[in-house]
Structure 1
Amino acid sequence: MPTTVEPDPQGFYFVGGTPFFASRHDQRISYALYVPKDHTPQAAPLPLVVIQHGTGRSAELYRDRWKSFAIEHRCVILTPLFPAGLVEPRELHSFKFLSSGGIRFDEELLHIVDEVGEVFNTETARFYLHGFSGGGQFAHRFFYVHPDRLAGVSIGAPGRITRLDDSLPWWLGTGGFEEVFGTRIDLEAMRKVPVQMVVGGDDVETWEINNVGGPNWLDGVEQTGRTRIERLECLRANFDEHGIQVRFDVVPGVGHRGSAVIPAVQEFLGKLLNERGTR
């Protein structure tokens, strides 16, 4: 009779859709992945695609929705999880602004990326980043600080934007940026990174993003537009003024739903992955 080869009880959980692992650098922060099941430590490292959650922390959902993409395009999907209430009880928004309560969320992501490269055999020098809503806020601000680490960035429907404008205080603009992050904006590096902006054509509700006096409000936000569509158009115009080319996707019939813009994001990132080595 043929012998049945049973899975390795330990290794089984390190391929496919993984559990959430605590970051070695800060165990309050965790991450999950989708790793193609035939990927091995002996193989060539696979490119890394980071999908950053929004306010709802739906990291597991994104991991699962990107499974087929990972298999088709031979890449590893990483979904970090920055828990709510990390800076103070019931707090929701700190990760979106990269630096809060003594935590540098951009650097925590880089620690996770380095760990994933070591444990799961992925490329870490440069990776691809997408975020929607609160994740879109994180993604475009991360782009400002670390353009050298990105092979492509997709900015999805951020409710609050940071313009490249040193006359405006952080986070409305980039005034005081160097004092906060210890580095300057590198426009030349930013111009080399492929950029997508994506939003649903029906993403017009304003109850969450026009919360005057809320914990994630600064006077001046209203000048960037009333809806997420208008604010993303404002950010695109700002990028254009600085010579940063943008692919701008408005997905018809879609409201504020990150899962519904995934096909447009996958088209953008899939093209970049297919062109690897030619850029």
Structure 2
Amino acid sequence: MLLPLSCTMATSIVPRSKPMERGVVLQRTLQMDSRQKYFLYVPRQGGNAAKIFITVHGISRNVREHAKEFAAYAEKYGVVMIAPYFPADRFPDYQRLGRKGNRADIVLNAIASEVAQLTGATPDKLYLFGYSGGAQFVHRYMFAYPERVARIVLGAPGWYTLPDASLKFPIGIQPVQSIPQVQFNSARFLNIPVCVLVGEKDNRRDAELNKSTTIDRLQGKTRIERGRRWVEEMSYQARLLGLPTTYDFHLLPDSPHSFAISMERGGMGERTFDFLFPES
């Protein structure tokens, strides 16, 4: 997808003293950590109290591509967009929140807080999308911080955390010492609407796919099968609690496991924003 000229990239860091530039994808450095980068887009028409949309890259770390692809949608829907960068040397386990290396969940909270202060956007309820490894992070973030999440869309995760307290995290939601202070409350995260999007051609057991016998047994052998099973299980657990939560699953036409192709051919951007912001 080609962005309009008004959505071109600006790679320099924005001086703190200047007003926040609108209509341009900006690369920023987190004030509290000079090593932490993220991309930001503030829509021209988005005023104070705008909603915050967050897009999280997969293990290819294509954060610039995420920012460029979603900027036009952020402008159209009047939301502030954040695309955090989780480099492999500092965040080797970001998909699972960060059991080793830095904690990606804590960093994301810091970025969202900073952006809210800079732009006047509302950080109380976040709208999140992630692709592949980023989708793994996003649904686990929802599990850990349900009070901060409004809705999420997951683009072709390789595997999932199940809402099962008998299984240790990250397979289930039994707490572990590697991520202290994180507790999982199923009654709260099962109340958050979720949409899972997987390419109709994303049925290969490629090198990036988790092929453990445990995951194969519990979730299936392909991203399509695992996505469907997870949506069914989440919906079932929500109904047990009397929650009418929306869980959607959609196949993206003519799309393999590729962020770029899923956006271009599969309509992933449109489906994502239609689900996250149905009132817009």
2-structure distance, mates of 1:55, 1:132:
9
Aligned match of 1:90: none
In the alignment, does 2:20 pair up with 1:16? no
In the alignment, does 2:47 pair up with 1:46? no
| 3-state DSSP of counterpart to 2:179 | helix
Which stretches in structure 1 are left out of the alignment for 5+ residues? 1-8, 88-92, 213-217
* Shift, 1:160, TM fit: 2.1
Superposition TM-score, scaled by structure 1 size: 0.82
Write out the 4+ residue segments of structure 1 that deviate beyond 6 Å after TM superposition. Answer: none
Give the partner amino acid of 1:52: V
2-structure distance, mates of 1:95, 1:252:
29
1:97-246 equivalent positions in 2, closer than 5 A: 97-101=96-100, 103-176=102-175, 180-210=179-209, 220-223=214-217, 224-243=219-238, 244-246=245-247
* Shift, 1:176, TM fit: 2.5
1-structure distance, mates of 2:220, 2:121:
39
Superposition TM-score, scaled by structure 2 size: 0.82
In the alignment, does 2:126 pair up with 1:84? no
In the alignment, does 2:71 pair up with 1:71? no
Q: Deviations over 1:103-154 (max 9, x none)?
A: 2211110110000000122111111000010011001101100111111101
Aligned match of 1:5: none
* Shift, 1:13, TM fit: 7.2
Q: Deviations over 1:175-214 (max 9, x none)?
A: 23588342432233223322111100000121224566xx
| 3-state DSSP of counterpart to 2:38 | strand
Give the 3 Å change call, closer, same or farther, for CA 35–202 of structure 1 in structure 2: same
Q: Deviations over 1:8-36 (max 9, x none)?
A: x9658732333321222333321111212
* Shift, 1:100, TM fit: 2.6
Over the matched positions of the two proteins, sequence identity in percent amounts to 25
Tell me which structure has the larger Cα radius of gyration. Answer: 1
- Indicate conservation of the 8 Å contact 2:195/2:247, yes or no: yes
Give the 3 Å change call, closer, same or farther, for CA 54–210 of structure 1 in structure 2: closer
Q: Deviations over 1:215-246 (max 9, x none)?
A: xxx65122221111111122112202211531
**136-145 vs 263-272, greater mean Cα deviation:** 263-272
* Shift, 1:52, TM fit: 0.5
Give the total of aligned pairs. Answer: 255
2-structure distance, mates of 1:273, 1:210:
30
Aligned match of 1:255: 256
Give the 3 Å change call, closer, same or farther, for CA 62–12 of structure 1 in structure 2: farther
Aligned match of 2:9: none
1-structure distance, mates of 2:199, 2:272:
16
